[in-house]
Chains A and B, each alone.
Chain A
C-alpha cells in the first residue's frame, strides 16, 4: 500500500497537468473555431470544456484517448481495418516472430563466441560497435530489399525486429556465459566435464539473470523496430501505419491512441518476461 501511494500521486499529478496543458494548448484553436462559427457569447468554462472535446485537438485530453481506445479496441470489429486491435495484432505478430528469430540467432552467436576465440576476437568488437550506431536507420532499406525478392507482409518487419533483438541478446548472453567464476569452472574440470557439459550444466544456468535482462531490452527494441518498419511500408497495417495515417490527416486522437496501444504492447511483453524472470529466479534461487 505504501509503495503504491507515491506512484498514484505522481500519476494523478500527471493527469491533472495533462488536462491543464490540453486546455492551454487547445484554447487558441477552439477560440478560432468559435469565431468561425460566429459564436461570441461563450464563457471561459465553455471554452475550457469545448477545448477538451475537440475532434482534432493539438493535445487530446486523456478521456478522449481512452474513448478512442475503447471505440477502436472494444467496439470495432477486430477483423476490420478500423480496429486498433487488428493493427496491434499485426505489430505483435511481427514483433514476436522477429524477437524469436533474433533471440535464437543471438544466443547461437553468443555460445559460439564463448567457445571459439576467433569469433570472439574478430566478430564481437563489430557487434559491440554496432550498438553505437543508429541501426534503425536501416529499417526502410531492409523493407525495400525484401520487396525486391517479393517477400512482403510481416516477414520484412519481423526481420528488422530480429535485427534489433539480436544485438542486446548477443552482448548480454556473452556476458552471462562468462559469469561463472574460475572456481566453478575449475570444479567442472576436476569432474572431467566435457565442454558441452560445462556449457549446459554451468554456463547456461549461470546466464539466466543476464538472459532475462537482455530479453527485456530486446523485446522493447523489437517492438520499436516493427513500428518504425511499418511507417516505411504502411499499406500492410500495424500500429506504425496508424501513426503515419494519423499524422497525414491530422488525427491527433488516433495518433495518441496508437501510441498508447504500442506502449501497452511493449509494457505487456516486458511484463510477461519479467514474470517469467521472477518465477525462474525464485526456482533457481538468484532472486530472493
Chain B
C-alpha cells in the first residue's frame, strides 16, 4: 500500500501544482477568457452543460463502439484466415505496416460522403483505423507460441482448430490486447476527427469545432476534458480486462508478489 502511495503521490502533487499555477496565473495576469480560461471556469462550464455533453458523448460513443468492435473483430478474423497462407501474409503484412504510417483519418470526408452525417460514417472511419493494427499484432501473436508447445500439441494428435483454440489463440492474447489498447485511442481520434467533417448537430468533435468558431473556449476545454476522461476510461477498461485475462503473462506476474 505504501508503495502504491509512493508511485501515485508525486504525479498527483505535480498535477495539483500545475492546476493551481494555472488558476492563479490566469487570475494574476488577467488572461482573457478567449485565450485560456481558468480551471474553475472550465469545471463550472462542464457541470453547467452536462446534459449537452452527455448527448455529445452518446453520439460519439455510438460510432466509436460499433467501429471499434467491427474493426477489431475483422482484423482478428482476417489474421486467423491468412495465418495458414504464408503467401498472403507476405503480401498483406507490408501493407499493414505501410498503412500504420499513413494519415488514415484523411478518409473521414470520404466516409462522411458514403455513409452520411450520422454515426455510421464515424464507425466506418474507426473500422478503417483499427483494422490494420489488429491484423499486424494478431498475426505476430499467432506466431508467438513456441515450437516446443506446438510439438506437444502434435504429439497429442491435436487438430488445427484444437491447436488454434487451446494453444495459439491464448498465446496470441497479449498481442491482441496490445492492439486493443492502441485501437482504443485510435478509435476516439477517428470518431472525433470525422466529426470535424460533418455531423448532425451533436457529438464531441462537432462541439469542439463549433465552440471554437464561437470563441467559447471554456466549453471547448470542457468538451476536451470529457474526451480525455472517456479516452482514459476506455483504455483503462481494456487494460483491466487484459490483466484479468492474461494474468499468466510475464508482464503481469510480477505484481502478485
Which residues of A are in contact with B by a Cβ distance under 8 Å? 3, 6-7, 9-11, 58, 118, 121-123, 125-126, 129, 131-134, 136-138, 140-141, 143-145, 148-149, 216, 219-220, 223-224, 227-228, 231-232, 239, 243-244, 246-247, 250, 252, 255-256, 258-259, 262-263, 266-267, 270
Within 8 A of A (CB), among B200-257: 204-205, 208-209, 212, 215, 217, 220-221, 223-224, 227-228, 231-232, 234-236
Known: A134-B192, A143-B212, A231-B196. 12 other contacts (CB 8 A): A6-B88, A10-B91, A125-B11, A132-B236, A134-B189, A145-B35, A148-B32, A231-B197, A246-B109, A247-B113, A262-B103, A266-B103
Tell me if A133 and B227 are in contact (CB < 8 A): yes
Q: Mark B77-100, 1 if CB is under 8 A from A, else 0.
A: 000000000011111101100101
Tell me if A133 and B90 are in contact (CB < 8 A): no
Residues of B within 8 A of A243 (CB): 106, 108-109, 197
- A and B contact pairs by CB, cutoff 8 A, 5 listed: A3-B90, A136-B189, A140-B209, A141-B217, A259-B107
Q: Is residue B138 contacting chain A, with contact meaning CB distance below 8 A? A: no
Tell me if B88 and A118 are in contact (CB < 8 A): no
Within 8 A of A (CB), among B18-49: 32, 34-36
Q: Is residue B15 contacting chain A, with contact meaning CB distance below 8 A? A: yes
Report the bound CA distance from A247 to B106 in whole Å. 11
Which residues of B are in contact with A by a Cβ distance under 8 Å? 7, 10-11, 13-15, 32, 34-36, 87-92, 94-95, 98, 100-103, 105-110, 112-114, 184-185, 188-189, 192-193, 196-198, 204-205, 208-209, 212, 215, 217, 220-221, 223-224, 227-228, 231-232, 234-236
Those 8 A-B pairs whose CB atoms lie nearest each other, nearest first: A10-B91, A247-B109, A6-B91, A122-B14, A6-B90, A125-B11, A133-B228, A132-B235
Tell me if B101 and A270 are in contact (CB < 8 A): yes
Residues of B within 8 A of A143 (CB): 212
Q: Output the least CB separation between B217 and chain A (Å).
A: 7
Residues of B within 8 A of A136 (CB): 105, 189, 192-193
Q: Output the least CB separation between B208 and chain A (Å).
A: 6
Tell me if B91 and A144 are in contact (CB < 8 A): no
Residues of B within 8 A of A126 (CB): 11, 14-15
Tell me if B109 and A255 are in contact (CB < 8 A): yes
Tell me if B101 and A216 are in contact (CB < 8 A): yes
- Number of A-B residue pairs at CB separation under 8 A: 153
Report the bound CA distance from A265 to B141 in whole Å. 30
Find B113's partner among A58, A125, A141 (CB 8 Å cutoff): A58
Among residues of B, the one whose C-beta sits closest to the C-beta of A10 is: B91
Tell me if A148 and B34 are in contact (CB < 8 A): yes
Report the bound CA distance from A259 to B110 in whole Å. 10
Residues of A within 8 A of B198 (CB): 247
Tell me if B11 and A137 are in contact (CB < 8 A): no
Among residues of B, the one whose C-beta sits closest to the C-beta of A246 is: B109
Tell me if B208 and A140 are in contact (CB < 8 A): yes
Report the bound CA distance from A66 to B63 in whole Å. 32
Tell me if B102 and A7 are in contact (CB < 8 A): no
Q: Output the least CB separation between A135 and chain B (Å).
A: 8
Tell me if A131 and B114 are in contact (CB < 8 A): no
Residues of B within 8 A of A252 (CB): 110, 113
Report the bound CA distance from A247 to B114 in whole Å. 11
Residues of B within 8 A of A262 (CB): 102-103, 106
Q: Output the least CB separation between A164 and chain B (Å).
A: 10
Among residues of B, the one whose C-beta sits closest to the C-beta of A56 is: B113
Tell me if B103 and A250 are in contact (CB < 8 A): no
Residues of A within 8 A of B204 (CB): 137
Tell me if B105 and A228 are in contact (CB < 8 A): yes
Contacts known (A122-B13, A244-B197, A255-B110); A6 close to B87, Cβ less than 8 A: yes
Contacts known (A7-B91, A140-B208, A244-B197); A134 close to B217, Cβ less than 8 A: no
Residues of B within 8 A of A259 (CB): 103, 106-107, 110
Residues of A within 8 A of B108 (CB): 243
Report the bound CA distance from A263 to B128 in whole Å. 15
Q: Output the least CB separation between B60 and chain A (Å).
A: 10
Contacts known (A118-B10, A121-B11); A140 close to B228, Cβ less than 8 A: no
Residues of B within 8 A of A256 (CB): 110
Find A132's partner among B89, B217, B232 (CB 8 Å cutoff): B232
Q: Which of B36, B91, B106 has the most C-beta atoms of chain A within 10 angstroms of its own C-beta?
A: B106
Find B184's partner among A6, A132, A140 (CB 8 Å cutoff): A132
Tell me if A144 and B192 are in contact (CB < 8 A): no
